[in-house]
A = this chain, B = another copy of it.
Amino acid sequence: MTPANPSPPCPEGIEETIIEHFWAVIPAGGSGTRLWPLSRSARPKFLLPLLGKDSLLQQTFERLTHLTVPSRILVVCGPAHAAAIARQLPDLPTENIIVEPSPNGTGPALALASALIQRRDPRAVMGSFAADHDVVSLEAFCGAVRTAVATAELGDLVTIGLTPTRAETGYGYIERTDDIRLETPTGTAYRAARFVEKPEQERAERYVASGKFLWNASMFFWRIDALASEIRRLQPEISTGVRKIVSAWESREQERITARVWATLPNVTIDQGIMEKASRVAVVPAEMGWSDVGDWHGLGELIEQDDLGNSVRGDLVQIDTVNSVVWSESRRMVATVGLDNVIVVDTDDALLVIDRSRSQDVRQIVDLLKEAMRAKLT
């Protein structure tokens, strides 16, 4: 892993002007259990260079530097990952790495970040971006963010919705209305109708066919005062708690107060705690080649495939092997014969071999290891 490029090259078609008062927050939580054994508690998915030489976090940060400056990017993480994040993102000011004492969902994390931003820039518009997702088109990403930020300036809570490319049952959806909130050169914002949870197959197919449903990628945008007022209204405990924490921030009492208050806050995601209950939500439809890099099947689709449909990282010698994923982190060579739709992941201390259709069930392996008190392997 190398540090993110300090002066990213400017791909053609990207408007390189930064957006005034735009702040980006990256909640970096979750280990990505479905990518076990590569992802571990101590080596979560966002720190891994799964697609290219940079980690997913580094790629996320790099994308944002086309829209804002590093001093306006915040990462919220757990105590175990602060040091690794600081090393991976040398351009990120250390005071922008916000350490939450324990995982509490994205709700408290983003509420704290927004309150800290408000102290520094009361006119801020804030966007939230998952640390471990993939985006193919930087141009489409930047365009959608510009539209979303412009819409947020109106006071709406805004989300980017990805045009679905398949009837995915693993994602949540957002239904949009035809009521246009804002048209910009880089996209259009519509009033959102509702958020819906992960659907079953049949419902997912109807959603995609309708043309009105978009994937929820947890990319959210708010004027900082608009978010504060929605938190006050919908999550008063979080609002009060975060105010206490912020009042002690950068004082001698910061750690003591943060730890004490944090433990009392409800564990809730920003999706469920705020966005799904908010009154004025807009959605910006976008196509950017987005993926949550959620499991081995999906990761196999994101890396290049050979003529036989195999996605290979490492030293493979194969006979009659097709549609498979072989990922070796060890120096071991891997030999396969007669495999179809099998996933092989080889790391120094654990080896995973699964039927590709069972990619979602890798998390069950992690659960079994936890039950067996084999935390070192999780």
Contact = CB atoms under 8 A, between A and B. Distances in A.
A364 B335 CA distance: 10
Given A320-B358, A342-B342, A357-B338, A351 B333 contact: yes
Interface in A340-367: 342, 344, 346-355, 357-358, 361-362, 364-365
A369 interface: yes
Nearest to A374: B333
A334 interface: yes
A273 interface: no
Contacts of A331: 349
A351 B351 contact: yes
Contacts of A355: 337-339
Given A317-B365, A317-B368, A365-B319, A333 B358 contact: no
Interface residues of A, number: 38
A351 B338 contact: no
A159 to B, nearest CB: 34
A377 interface: yes
Nearest to A355: B338
A275 to B, nearest CB: 34
Contacts of A354: 335-339
A355 to B, nearest CB: 3
Nearest to A361: B337
B357 A351 contact: no
A29 interface: no
B332 A358 contact: no
A213 to B, nearest CB: 30
A317 B372 CA distance: 10
Contacts of A350: 332-335
Nearest to A37: B335
A350 B37 CA distance: 18
A352 B361 CA distance: 23
Given A317-B369, A319-B365, A364-B319, A336 B353 contact: yes
A147 interface: no
A347 to B, nearest CB: 8
A328 interface: yes
Residue among A332, A342, A347, A349 with max Cβ neighbours from chain B (10 Å): A332
Interface in A309-325: 317, 319-320
14 contacts: A317-B369, A319-B365, A333-B349, A335-B351, A335-B354, A336-B352, A336-B353, A337-B354, A337-B362, A338-B354, A338-B361, A339-B355, A344-B353, A351-B351
Would you list the 10 A-B pairs with minimal beta carbon distance, nearest first?
A338-B355, A338-B358, A337-B354, A337-B358, A335-B365, A334-B351, A335-B352, A333-B350, A336-B353, A337-B361
Given A320-B358, A346-B351, 20 more contacts: A37-B335, A317-B369, A319-B368, A332-B348, A332-B351, A333-B350, A333-B374, A334-B352, A334-B353, A335-B350, A335-B351, A335-B353, A336-B354, A337-B352, A337-B362, A338-B354, A339-B342, A339-B355, A342-B342, A342-B353
